[in-house]
């Protein structure tokens, strides 16, 4: 479902972050959603970019407006710059809300860990957990206190259930937080790739079931210097496609009319996972464990590439 939205308000909220409020261009109610959902915006030349919806109160079945927060990245791929260039009254196209990072049902305590702008879905999680009456602790990590854009609001709303951490003065002890969690705790982490990988590795070392660790990568996949073209062969048809250095497997296959399943295009939802019949993947996701990467039998084709000249995939 495609939505036509109009920007009602753009407000700087600290650092390089601005908050955007959109309504339906025709004034109608907007589709509802659950905490953790995001919108995919069509930003023209900047491409499709995903931004989490921000809610300090739990969303309902229908919404009068959508709110997102976007951090401007001058050295990024252009999406945040395009968003920050919008002014009130601008019309944009977006998908209806999608959710690949949904809170599970149940009474288990929840540990929320956010890094930088990755706090946006965590804000919505805290609101929903508070509504449910579920025990939770939220940890918001930023480079400095000055960059803790939503820290005061979170602390005011949830008191001592929120802890603020600053890399330059009071860094978070992720190991201590995770190892000290009550048995059965569900862990949700959103932030940069390094934080997600650290949380996942600490949780695994602590013996926490991987099914209790959930994450969303808050970044677009970056290309690597020296990326080279490679070939992908579809196992059941024998068709071969060349994947250029500046395109993903998903992009090339979709352009060729191959039916591929995908969503996030960041390597964190797992929907595009497929079997590797032969060849050596260059894994760039945050879904697979180190053991799965070493085995090389599966890969996420939205971000990962190849260390071999050809991959044979079972799509």
Does domain 230-314 sit in CATH 3.10.20.30?
yes
Does domain 2-95 sit in CATH 3.40.50.300?
no
The model's pLDDT over 15-31, given as tens digits with 9 standing for 90+, comes to 899 999 999 999 999 99
H or E segment at 251? helix 249-255
Q: What is the pLDDT of residue 244?
A: 92
Instruction: Find the angle CA(233)-CA(235)-CA(237) to the nearest 5 degrees.
Output: 90
Enter the pTM of the model.
Answer: 0.80
Distances in Å between the Cα of 169 and the Cα atoms of 116, 120, 148, 303 are: 15, 23, 13, 34
The model's pLDDT over 246-271, given as tens digits with 9 standing for 90+, comes to 899 999 999 999 988 887 788 888 88
Q: What is the pLDDT of residue 71?
A: 93
Residue spans in the chain of domains classed CATH 3.10.20.30? 230-314
Q: What is the pLDDT of residue 291?
A: 86
Please compute the mean of the pLDDT values over residues 45-72 and round it to a whole number.
Answer: 92
CA distance 275 to 278: 9
Contacts of 167 (CB under 8 A, 6+ apart): 141, 142, 143, 144
CA distance 164 to 152: 9
The model's pLDDT over 127-162, given as tens digits with 9 standing for 90+, comes to 999 999 999 999 999 999 999 999 999 999 999 999
DSSP state of 198: H
Q: What is the pLDDT of residue 219?
A: 62
Closest among 34, 213, 64 to 131, alpha carbons compared: 34
Question: Which range, 10-19, 42-51, 284-293, has the best average confidence (pLDDT)?
Answer: 10-19
Which residues on adjacent β-strands are paired with residue 164? 140
First to last CA, the chain: 25
The model's pLDDT over 156-212, given as tens digits with 9 standing for 90+, comes to 999 999 999 999 999 999 999 999 999 999 999 999 888 998 999 999 999 999 899
- Which CATH number is 110-217's, of 3.40.50.80, 3.30.590.10, 1.20.1440.20, 3.40.1780.10? 3.40.50.80
CA distance 165 to 142: 6
pLDDT, the chain, mean: 92
Place of tokens 């590439």: 305
Q: What is the pLDDT of residue 261?
A: 87
Which residues on adjacent β-strands are paired with residue 3? 94
Q: How confident is the model at residue 45 (pLDDT cuts 50, 70, 90)?
A: confident
The model's pLDDT over 70-116, given as tens digits with 9 standing for 90+, comes to 999 887 667 899 999 999 999 999 999 999 899 999 999 999 999 99
Residue 296's φ and ψ, nearest 5 degrees, are 70, 25
Q: How confident is the model at residue 221 (pLDDT cuts 50, 70, 90)?
A: low
Residue-wise DSSP of 3-50: EEEEEEEEEEEETTEEEEEEEETTSPPEE---TT-EEEEE-GGG-EEE
CA distance 199 to 190: 10
């Amino acid at each position: 479902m495609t939505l036509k939205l109009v920007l009602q308000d753009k407000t700087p909220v600290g650092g390089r972050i601005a908050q955007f409020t959109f309504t339906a261009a025709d004034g109608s109610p907007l589709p509802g959603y659950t905490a953790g959902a995001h919108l995919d915006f069509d930003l023209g030349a900047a491409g499709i970019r995903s931004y989490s919806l921000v809610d300090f109160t739990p969303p309902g079945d229908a919404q009068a407006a959508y709110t997102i927060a976007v951090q401007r990245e001058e050295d990024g791929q252009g999406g945040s710059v395009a968003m920050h260039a919008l002014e009130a009254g601008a019309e944009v196209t977006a998908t209806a809300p999608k959710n690949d990072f949904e809170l599970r049902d149940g009474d288990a305590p929840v540990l929320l860990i956010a890094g930088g702008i990755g706090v946006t879905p965590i804000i919505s999680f805290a609101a929903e957990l508070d509504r449910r009456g579920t025990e939770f602790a939220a940890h918001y990590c930023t480079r400095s206190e000055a960059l803790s854009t939503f820290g005061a609001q979170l602390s005011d709303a949830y008191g001592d259930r929120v802890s603020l951490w600053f890399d330059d003065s009071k860094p978070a002890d992720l190991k201590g937080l995770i190892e000290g969690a009550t048995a059965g705790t569900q862990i949700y982490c959103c932030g940069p790739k390094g934080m997600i990988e650290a949380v996942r590795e600490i949780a695994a070392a602590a013996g926490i079931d991987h099914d209790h660790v959930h994450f969303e990568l808050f970044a677009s996949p970056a290309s690597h210097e020296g990326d080279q073209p490679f070939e992908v062969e579809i196992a059941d048809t024998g068709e071969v496609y060349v994947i250029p250095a500046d395109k993903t497997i998903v992009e090339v296959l979709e352009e060729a009319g191959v039916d591929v399943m995908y969503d996030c295009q960041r390597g964190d939802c797992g929907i595009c996972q497929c079997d590797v019949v032969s060849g050596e993947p260059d894994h760039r996701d945050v879904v697979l464990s180190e053991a799965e990467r070493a085995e090389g039998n599966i890969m996420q084709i939205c971000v990962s590439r190849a260390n071999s000249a050809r991959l044979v995939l079972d799509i």
